[in-house]
Structure 1
Amino acid sequence: MKHSLFPISSLLLSNALLLLGHGLLLTLLPIVASQLGFTSLEIALTGSAYFLGFVSGCLLTPHILRRVGHIRSFAVLAVIYLVLILLLSYLEGFAVWLLARFIIGAAISGLYMIIESWLNERADASNRGAILSFYSMLSLLMIMLSQQLFTLGNNEYDILFVGAAILVALSIIPVSLTLSLAPAPVEDTKVSFSKVWKHSQIAMVGVIIIGFVTGAFWSLAPVFASQSNFTDGQLAMFMSASVLGGACCQIPIGKFSDRFDRRIVLFYLAFIGALVSAAMVAAAHYLPNFAVWPASVLAFFWGGTCMTMYAICLAHANDNAQAKDFVPIGSGMLITFGISSAIGGPIASGVMSYVGALGLYAYMAVFLALFALIIMVRRTTHELPDKVADHDTFQPSAGMTTPMAFSLDPRTEHLEDELKASKEV
């Protein structure tokens, strides 16, 4: 492992610094927007703009990379990102925030794509799985740690904006000073929605519903905590617990899904996620000290179910696919996930406007229960049962990533060898 990671240590360090600043901003922006007087719908729409920008960045970044290369592209996108961070600490208009969050989404997806394509270039058959696993773990860990940085502001949010900008600025240094050769320009994103639907209708439906749920979480969970009178420390712990649950449970649940029908695993994840979401509503309503510890405990289990389902859906879609289809299928699922995430926030905000902050988790409970019901009905009508013996080994996912990460899948290694051989001929 050490020999595999040392040559790419500068890339991983840049990724860690970038995610610390970005994760802090994910929690900070909804809170500041709420203090500026934005309604829940307006806050959710700024979140939607971010997710739409992320999808746009996945499609546009390859063109930038072909023009100026990886290092200059990373520096330019990071500078754009940190300038927008500093501007958002002063700007108060909703339309400006909408545009800024769209550009931030496009910039961060471009930065992810640069790092992931570089990692893919440095990977080979002997270390591809190790690099993917470590990258996924590092990404989730940095997002979790970034939530704790939120407590350093002591309600002085301008300091946190500056801190996030500094971390993004620092992420430019390791990439710029690396001795590792920059990779060749990446190809355009290959997307195939039809292949996803052909190989697994459950995976396509699942990624839409998961997008509805997790998109609402990232857009409105800080608002839920703020309106529930959490202190900054309690809010940070609540958000960290959600991410920690996903980080701790992803690989164990993924390995479990290798041994059993993945649809059954998804059913129980959705069902338990719905129960935990409902328990969150009940606990917030009835427990006087809900924010002290019950919220974080429930958030951990919520993250353990809801933040692991995307990777299981991706694995299920790839089970019956060939290696050449992994990237188009993964890209199709990622873009579907991004679009549904953009839709989920505004829907959840509408529920919150009628029933208050608790409406967020009530909304999640309904959609997760719906997914569990769809799986149950599908298994009774689908003629081709899931064949556990045909399962490929589960591969972890860093969550909201780019199509370049799918090329890190060790199962694509032999396909690359075939392509190189055909070019030599």
Structure 2
Amino acid sequence: MFRNLLPISALLLSSALLLFAGGTNGLILPVRGTAEGFDAFSLGLLGTGWAVGYVAGCLLMPMLVSRVGHIRSFTVMAALAAVAILASLIFLTPTAWVPLRALSGLCFAGAAMIVESWLSERSDASNRGRIFGTYTMVNLVASTAGQMSLTLAPTDGHLFFVLGAIFYALALVPVAITSSASPKPLVKVRLDLRGLWGNSPVAVVAIFLVGVSNSAFGTLAAVYAGQIGLSLNSVALFASIPILAGAVAQMPVGYLSDRMDRRKVLVGIAALALVADLAFIVVSPQGTPANLVLVALFGASIFSMYPVIVAHANDHAEEGSFIQTSGGLLLVFGLGSIIGPLVAGLGMSSVGVSGLFITTVGAHVLMIAYALLRITMRAPVALEDKGAFVVAPPGRATTPETAAFASGPDVDTDSQAVGSVAGQT
């Protein structure tokens, strides 16, 4: 195993540094924004901006890499991400933070796609699963460490903005000095809503609603936790534990979805998420232990939905179209991610902290209702015709290259264009 990882250690280190910076960046903004008096709607716009940038990065990065190459493109992304977080320290206003957060999203998507493309090229059928698993684990640990770093010092100064910028800058060093040959061109994915809908309507609706729910929570969880009176340490745990719980839950959820109708599995985990939603609204738990237990259940549910939906869509897709289907669904997820923080931020500004989970209730109720409707209209896929369940990084750390990495290194990237671009933002 060590021999497999040694040649890609520079890429894994770059990814870890990038995710550490991203974790720090993603948490310091809502924490500091709350302290600066930003309202929940303005903080929700940060998530919307990030999602717009992330979708744009997934679409535009292949063109940049084709023009200037992988190393130069990665250098640009890391440098601009460092500029964005430092500029957020200089301009402490929502008007500046929203476009800067969009720039961060673009840079983060672009840098992640380059690393994943490189790792995919360096793997083969004999070690791809272990390399992908190691990459996912490294990202989870680094992202969590970045979030938890906020517990080490006061957040009212410049420290964590500068720390995030330092780690963004450090992320480009291993890639810049690696001796690994540059990989094939990046995966190109276009959004074909008609084709995706014809493949699996429930996947399109569900992945959009998962984008709404998960992005709303990912953006405003720290704001919610701070407003109900949790300490900074507990706020960091409130944001981190759901992602870790989602990662752990994917294996048992995947086991179930490979052995029964994936739509029923989706309904089941959406129902668990709905229970957690309603508990946050109705019970309004007080104190750290109750909130952390409840948010772990919530995270285990919402962050295990994405791979189930992608697997269901690929069960109905034509053979050899895994990347097209997964990449298209990712962009639909991105469109939902644009809307979720906006709606939740508006809800929190209007009705208070419960507005966050009122938003997720709406998303999960609609998801359950539509999945149950489709179950009555279409027979499940036979067990022998199902594709393999592929574990995906929870949260917003998935790109089109993740699908290529997970499915295999021998992907014909020239055939990745899917239909016409529709609904781009």
Shorter-normalised TM-score: what interval? over 0.9
Partner of 1:20: 20
Partner of 1:349: 345
Partner of 1:376: 372
Please say if residues 190 and 327 of structure 1, whose CA atoms lie closer than 8 Å, have aligned partners that are also in contact: no
Gaps of 5+ in 2: 416-425
* Cα distance in 1, alignment partners of residues 10 and 274 from structure 2: 41
User: Cα–Cα, structure 1 residues 356 and 414, in superposed 2: closer, same or farther, change >3 Å?
Assistant: same
* Cα distance in 1, alignment partners of residues 179 and 258 from structure 2: 39
Please say if residues 193 and 329 of structure 1, whose CA atoms lie closer than 8 Å, have aligned partners that are also in contact: no
Match of 1:338 among 334, 348, 359: 334
* Cα distance in 2, alignment partners of residues 188 and 367 from structure 1: 29
The alpha-carbon deviation at position 44 of structure 1 amounts to 1.1
Bigger Cα displacement from structure 2, 362-371 vs 328-337: 362-371
The alpha-carbon deviation at position 333 of structure 1 amounts to 0.7
Q: Which amino acid aligns with 1:341?
A: S
Q: Which amino acid aligns with 1:388?
A: L
SS of the aligned residue for 2:258 comes to: helix
Partner of 2:400: 403
Count matched residues. 413
Q: Which amino acid aligns with 1:409?
A: A
User: Cα–Cα, structure 1 residues 414 and 174, in superposed 2: closer, same or farther, change >3 Å?
Assistant: closer
* Cα distance in 1, alignment partners of residues 136 and 195 from structure 2: 25
Please say if residues 320 and 390 of structure 1, whose CA atoms lie closer than 8 Å, have aligned partners that are also in contact: no
Question: Aligned residues: percent identity?
Answer: 35
Q: Which amino acid aligns with 1:17?
A: L
Bigger Cα displacement from structure 2, 89-98 vs 65-74: 89-98
Q: Which amino acid aligns with 2:238?
A: F
The alpha-carbon deviation at position 322 of structure 1 amounts to 3.5
Please say if residues 315 and 394 of structure 1, whose CA atoms lie closer than 8 Å, have aligned partners that are also in contact: yes
Partner of 2:386: 391
- Is 2:346 the counterpart of 1:360? no
Q: Which amino acid aligns with 1:343?
A: I
The alpha-carbon deviation at position 190 of structure 1 amounts to 4.3
Partner of 1:46: 46
- Is 2:102 the counterpart of 1:102? yes
User: Cα–Cα, structure 1 residues 140 and 193, in superposed 2: closer, same or farther, change >3 Å?
Assistant: farther
Please say if residues 241 and 297 of structure 1, whose CA atoms lie closer than 8 Å, have aligned partners that are also in contact: no
* Cα distance in 2, alignment partners of residues 185 and 415 from structure 1: 10
Partner of 1:252: 252
Gaps of 5+ in 1: 420-425
User: Cα–Cα, structure 1 residues 184 and 414, in superposed 2: closer, same or farther, change >3 Å?
Assistant: closer
* Cα distance in 2, alignment partners of residues 146 and 280 from structure 1: 26
1:318-359 residue CA offsets vs partner (Å, 9 max, x unmatched): 113234311111111111111111101111122212321122
User: Cα–Cα, structure 1 residues 128 and 191, in superposed 2: closer, same or farther, change >3 Å?
Assistant: farther
Bigger Cα displacement from structure 2, 124-133 vs 290-299: 124-133
* Cα distance in 1, alignment partners of residues 232 and 399 from structure 2: 31
- Is 2:320 the counterpart of 1:324? yes
SS of the aligned residue for 1:324 comes to: coil
1:291-310 residue CA offsets vs partner (Å, 9 max, x unmatched): 32111111111110001101
**What RMSD over aligned residues (CA atoms) do the two structures have, in Å?**
2.0
The alpha-carbon deviation at position 144 of structure 1 amounts to 2.2
- Is 2:140 the counterpart of 1:140? yes
Q: Which amino acid aligns with 1:406?
A: A
- TM-score scaled by structure 1? 0.92
- TM-score scaled by structure 2? 0.92
The alpha-carbon deviation at position 251 of structure 1 amounts to 2.0
Please say if residues 41 and 345 of structure 2, whose CA atoms lie closer than 8 Å, have aligned partners that are also in contact: yes
The alpha-carbon deviation at position 415 of structure 1 amounts to 6.2
User: Cα–Cα, structure 1 residues 225 and 415, in superposed 2: closer, same or farther, change >3 Å?
Assistant: closer
The alpha-carbon deviation at position 255 of structure 1 amounts to 2.0
1:53-96 residue CA offsets vs partner (Å, 9 max, x unmatched): 11011111112111221112111210111111111112123322
Please say if residues 132 and 396 of structure 1, whose CA atoms lie closer than 8 Å, have aligned partners that are also in contact: no
